[in-house]
Chain A
Amino acid sequence: MASTPTTNTQGIVFKNLSRYEKRSRVKDIVASIVVHTSGIAAIVVLFFIFVFLAKDALPTFTKVGILKFLIGTSWQPEFEKFGILPLLVGSLFVTFGALVVAVPIGIACAVYIAEVSPPSFRSLLKVIVELLAGIPSVVFGFIGLMILAPLVQKVFELPTGLTALTGAVTLAFMSMPTIISVSEDAITAVPKSYSDGSLALGATKWETIRHVVIPSAKSGIVAACLLGMGRAIGETMAVLMVTGNASILPKGLVGLPNFFLGPVRTMTATIASDMGETVQGSTHYNALFAIGLTLFAISFAVNMAADLILRRGGLGKE
């Protein structure tokens, strides 16, 4: 480029500039490169997470077999049995148990904050919800262990308070802040003219909320529940501390209540508790990464679905 300055337009422009101006143009170009590189960092990180999970997970499918891994009914690493079905069932049970509690309460609380509460109360409530969202999961686990578990043990007269139920209740309070804040955003985003129209037709405030506001905010509320579910299924420490960590499958439909009141083991808790004991490169080690890959796939699906629903409802960021 330096040899043909006259034909290079940029060179010509540069020639007439002061040193300061030249320097700021160079800076501008460098900054642009740095910004663009950082911009795609998110894609690179996500891709790397997938690659590093897959790299150590794939040997599982040859060593154990993909079917034996996914629908094998027993997880007993000491006997070389790596079926994740009991862990999957454990995760799903605890998660859905949590959602049964968190979804109605969370949506009702969001309605209260957005539509019913007096304005002075509203900001206080939001602060408390943020406070709840900020409590570390290990502290939730600790409280579940110290307060909730003894309570569950006493009420149901169980040998141990570390049960699926304890985990579900703990998780319910952990996923509530997500459900509340996303639902509240969706409810607040409903145009005021909608409810004004309804009120002008003689509907009461509650009828307006129920038949106009909530249906309009439906997609946002559904996405809120999905995001809450994503949070619950990926939660690790609290579940590890309060569910007792026994990989058991329910004994048919009759056995469900007993299953719920007994210890379970989730996918996340298995990774957290077993990683320290495995030898790098062993089948057990590979199987833990395969569980991680499964979790990654589940969270990917849940988040894509939530994003799609939000976008369709016009609430997405784009």
Chain B
Amino acid sequence: MISRNQTEKLAFATVALASLVVVLPALVIIGFLAAKGAFAISWSFLTQMPKNGMREGGIMPAIVGTLYLVAGTLVFAVPLGVFAAIYLAEYAPQSTLRRIVRLSIVNLAGVPSVVYGLFGYGLFVVTLHFGKSILAGSLTLAFLILPVVIAASEEAVRSVPKSFREGSLALGATRWQTIWRVVLPNAAGGIITGVVIGVGRAAGETAPIMFTAAAFFLPKLPSSPLSDCMALPYHLYVVASEMFDAPLSMQWGTALTLLMLVTAMNLVAALIRARFRRAKCW
């Protein structure tokens, strides 16, 4: 017979072990990427055009392409997401409409990324004649991260104390003046954090841009929002799965560059969150 204390020890050991099973692979993945990718990354790898059918040279157009896509995503997702969050937190009455809006957001968050790709292809590439382009890709990615931006912004707007609004309204400010000059500045930290996390996600997505923006091999920089571009995640897929003879250094180097870009964004989000939390005066 095992005593109750022994049972407890055994159970705690088991859940600790399970946590180790989660942590260890995460560290192994990052360790492997760092160890194998570090030798592949050099200044010329990051700043040169790919050569010889992507077997030599660098990945500059893929990095630039991803940055363009991310910038485009920001332009579309941030205003829409923040205004939608203001609607939910400040304007929407407790109504059926609000319930439907919330259910739509929950469902948007769950739509598989490849389905966003099909949708983006059908709407932006074909129907609106944007073609396979940075514009079409950015719009598709913007809709993909919309739920993330809305959720984070809404929470940030809600966390601003009610007394702030009452003070502003009592001074005769309109509802919008109160939101623009009192609520939003105080919610900025949370909103920026959510936006950066969403953008980090957009930077790493492959399936939504496969049919809407990404080029297999394009050794020049995109010239307009209507041209297609290379992108880091798609480039990694191409050199790892589509080509049979891409050198390992190209594969590991691309993977590490992508991971560093995405992790850097998440790190920035964490820093902003910590900074604003410290500066909060309520």
Contact = CB atoms under 8 A, between A and B. Distances in A.
Contacts of A131: 26, 30, 263, 266
A102 to B, nearest CB: 9
A14 interface: no
Contact of B210 (A207, A272, A300, A307): A272
Interface string B18-42: 1101110111111011000000000
Interface residues of A, number: 91
B107 A105 contact: no
B137 interface: no
25 contacts: A24-B177, A32-B175, A32-B176, A34-B83, A35-B86, A35-B91, A38-B86, A39-B92, A42-B104, A46-B104, A49-B116, A108-B14, A108-B18, A112-B18, A135-B204, A140-B29, A141-B241, A206-B8, A236-B112, A236-B113, A237-B206, A241-B240, A268-B112, A271-B118, A300-B107
Interface stretch (A59-67, A68-76, A82-90, A291-299): A291-299
A280 B115 CA distance: 17
Contact residues of B: prevailing secondary structure? helix
A154 interface: no
B211 A41 contact: no
A235 B114 CA distance: 8
B80 A176 contact: no
Interface stretch (A2-10, A50-58, A246-254): A50-58
A46 B143 CA distance: 10
Given A46-B107, A52-B122, A173-B25, A296 B84 contact: no
A26 to B, nearest CB: 10
A125 interface: yes
Contact of A116 (B4, B12, B92, B259): B12
Interface stretch (A142-150, A191-199, A257-265): A142-150
B83 A233 contact: no
Contacts of A41: 80, 84, 146
List of 8 A-B pairs having minimum Cβ-Cβ separation, nearest first = A234-B112, A136-B204, A39-B87, A38-B83, A108-B18, A206-B8, A52-B122, A303-B110
A39 B114 contact: no
Interface residues of B, number: 93
Contacts of B200: 134
B204 A137 contact: yes
A289 interface: yes
A241 to B, nearest CB: 5
Nearest to B91: A35
A195 to B, nearest CB: 14
A155 interface: no
Given A46-B104, A53-B122, A275-B121, A136 B177 contact: no
Q: Interface centre among A55, A116, A205, A237, by most B CB within 10 Å?
A: A237
A105 B22 contact: yes
Contacts, number: 276
Contacts of A137: 113, 204-207
B119 A125 contact: no
A225 B210 CA distance: 29
Contact residues of A: prevailing secondary structure? helix
Contact of A272 (B8, B207, B233, B270): B207
Nearest to B233: A138
A236 B114 contact: yes
A179 to B, nearest CB: 10
Interface in B236-263: 236-237, 240-241, 251, 255, 258-259, 262-263
A49 B205 contact: no
Nearest to A31: B176
A28 B174 contact: yes
B4 A207 contact: yes
A138 to B, nearest CB: 5
Interface stretch (B43-51, B95-103, B187-195): B95-103
A42 B146 contact: yes
A259 B87 CA distance: 50
Given A108-B15, A241-B241, A39 B88 contact: yes
A222 interface: no
A209 B14 CA distance: 14
B126 interface: yes
A129 B111 CA distance: 22
Contacts of A180: 22
Nearest to A294: B115
Nearest to B23: A128
Contact of B19 (A53, A113, A173): A113
Contact of B8 (A31, A56, A204): A204
A21 B176 CA distance: 13
Contact of B122 (A42, A55, A237): A55
A291 B214 CA distance: 22
Contact of B29 (A135, A206, A292, A304): A135
A132 interface: yes
A53 B115 contact: yes
Given A28-B174, A39-B87, A136-B258, A112 B16 contact: yes
